[in-house]
Structure 1
Amino acid sequence: MTLTQLEIFSLVAELRGFTAAAHRLEISQSAVSHALKSLEQELGVELLRRHQSQVELSDIGQQLLLRARAMLGLANTLRQEAADARGMKRGTLRIGSFGPTSSIKLLPKILQHYRAAHPGIEVHIDEGPDRQVIQWLEERRIDIGFVVLPQERFDTFRLIEDQMVALLPADHALAGRDSLSLSDLCHEPFVLTEAGSSELVSRLFSAARLTPNIRYRCSQLISTLDTVGRGDALTVVAEGSLPDDNDNRYVKKPLSPPVSRQVGLAVLDQRQSSPATLAFIKLASSLNDRQAA
């Protein structure tokens, strides 16, 4: 069993295909097939089931995939530690990011300084809803992720805090109020943004034993803003996720009582994190401290 075989197995499982994995790795499809066949013969189990152009994991394959990703993660940490001894000239950092808060407002500035300090580190960024980033962390698909805090199952590092706000059409009957309670928002059509802090919004209503009248679900915040701006619904979003430019089609109102949101970085285990990951955490934290000051 080799790390190359495990890497091919992990990538085929993620991409659900031999051709896609071969293209990503820039090797032939026959090389991918040979590597997986050899791995299955060595282990004596079927890891993948072939269905025409797609594949799916067998039951034992799903179990071994988590082990394979853990081994690949440790191997990457070893390489990073060796690279650190050489001045961290080479390496890979896989980042998970969610919504405008991290992808637009936090990540670009951090990456600008990180690439300047560590130009040899190859950075891969995957974007998805907050719950997706958490899943990627658990499955070891990424080294570090931006998350809504708290997240007790991970080692976390707080970066920013903002407020949750109600967002409603500018001509809405509630637009003149100074603040709004969650109960005020339950009687109107509601749009839920699947990206960003959707889990937090759902928990807020659930904790208050309230049920919003969800009529729309949008995968991106920009679609949510357009839905509210058209007058079709209202919503609750994090203030830090809103665009800097003022859109007169909708208004934001603080919640009563106020609800804060914290965003930070999370890793599965800081003690096993690579030097590239730790350097990213240190840089992000220092930039945040400077901005706070």
Structure 2
Amino acid sequence: MTFTQLAIFAKVAALGSFTTAADQLGISQSAVSHAIRQLEKEWDVKLFIRTQQSISLSSTGKQLLVRTNELLTLAEGLTQEVADLRGVKSGTLRIGSMGISTSIQVLPKILEKFKARYPGIEVIVEEGKDHEVAEWIRDRKVDIGFVVLPNEQFHTTKLIEDALIALIPAQHPLAKQTTIQLADLCKDPFILTLAGSGKFVEQIFEDAKLRPDIKHKYAQIITIIKMVEMGSGVSIVADLAVPDEIMQLFPGVIKKPLSVNYFRTIGLAIPHPSHASPATTAFLQLSKQLFAKK
């Protein structure tokens, strides 16, 4: 019996569904079924009555659920006490973020959970370009920061893969295509991003033995989108950098997937695990729970 198995049991009981429980827990349905079978085998009981249409708690399951919830509550209380003893109850956490991709798309989801779990920790976020965030981590200006991977100078944790997409004027002939080939983007003036994916964009053209006609280079994603809308050129940017909320402000621009999938990897970086504060470690662990690939 493990606390993970107990948590799965409680979640299935609360939702009345193996599938929904698996979705909410972020694990496979087979993992949920396995956990329940292991508990039933170890306890030599039937926790659920299963039919083709539904599942429900058995009378034994109802009794054991009460004890299970008590244990889970005690475990959560113990976790909080341990966090207090490790210094996570209070303090300051300084985070380096690299623009829309992380400041809007990733960080808020983590901070919502983090602040709820550690309300006494003051969180300070500084936003900068990719290379600036790396400098802040190296210089200890921030405790932890988002970086594009790989980055060999830090201890890093992979969080999410971000696809590269093409930005095309809405009236451009390419806008009618389902996907865009790199060669198609060499026929128009090209707008190169100077943000974290800029070097990656240049590299994929080089690997394909293609040379885009770079006429503009901009660091701000809003500038790039606006210049595309004005017909000044086409571009390739990271998908997370152009969420739908921003694209709606520029109806004259369409984003299209590339014919070949290219991804940049975003992760969190710290100088070294042994140097991480309890608050930093807590933030990193929570981020891994929410985003990191299994």
State the match for 1:181 in structure 2.
181
**Contact persistence 1:97–1:126 (CA under 8 A):** yes
How far off its partner does 1:208 sit? 3.6
Q: Tell me the distance in 2 between the aligned counterparts of 1:212 and 1:84.
A: 55
Q: Of 268, 280, 289, which residue of structure 2 is paired with 1:286? A: 289
Question: Quick one: structure 1 residues 86 and 264, their matched pair in 2 at CA, closer, same or farther if it must change by over 3 Å?
Answer: closer
Structure 2 residue runs of 5 or longer lacking an equivalent are 1-82
**Matched ranges for 1:1-293 at <5 A:** 85=85, 87-245=87-245, 246=248, 247-288=250-291
Q: Tell me the distance in 2 between the aligned counterparts of 1:288 and 1:248.
A: 31
* Larger gyration radius, structure 1 or structure 2: 2
**Contact persistence 1:130–1:199 (CA under 8 A):** no
**Contact persistence 1:99–1:196 (CA under 8 A):** no
Q: Tell me the distance in 2 between the aligned counterparts of 1:175 and 1:160.
A: 28
How far off its partner does 1:120 sit? 2.2
Question: Quick one: structure 1 residues 189 and 104, their matched pair in 2 at CA, closer, same or farther if it must change by over 3 Å?
Answer: same
Q: Tell me the distance in 1 between the aligned counterparts of 2:206 and 2:129.
A: 19
Q: Tell me the distance in 2 between the aligned counterparts of 1:227 and 1:202.
A: 19
Question: Which string of whole-angstrom CA distances, capped at 9 and with x for unpartnered residues, describes residues 9-47 of structure 1?
Answer: xxxxxxxxxxxxxxxxxxxxxxxxxxxxxxxxxxxxxxx
Equivalent position amino acid for 2:233 in 1: A
TM-score (norm 1): 0.65
Q: Tell me the distance in 2 between the aligned counterparts of 1:134 and 1:208.
A: 29
Q: Tell me the distance in 2 between the aligned counterparts of 1:99 and 1:183.
A: 29
Question: Quick one: structure 1 residues 86 and 265, their matched pair in 2 at CA, closer, same or farther if it must change by over 3 Å?
Answer: closer
TM-score (norm 2): 0.64
Q: Could you say what secondary structure the match of 2:104 adopts? A: helix
**Contact persistence 2:189–2:233 (CA under 8 A):** yes
Overall identity of the aligned pairs, in %: 46
How far off its partner does 1:152 sit? 2.4
**Contact persistence 2:197–2:238 (CA under 8 A):** yes
Question: Quick one: structure 1 residues 96 and 203, their matched pair in 2 at CA, closer, same or farther if it must change by over 3 Å?
Answer: farther
Q: Could you say what secondary structure the match of 2:146 adopts? A: strand
Task: Indicate the RMSD between aligned Cα atoms, in angstroms.
Answer: 2.4
How far off its partner does 1:127 sit? 0.9
Q: Tell me the distance in 2 between the aligned counterparts of 1:178 and 1:101.
A: 24
Deviates more, 1:197-206 or 1:265-274: 197-206
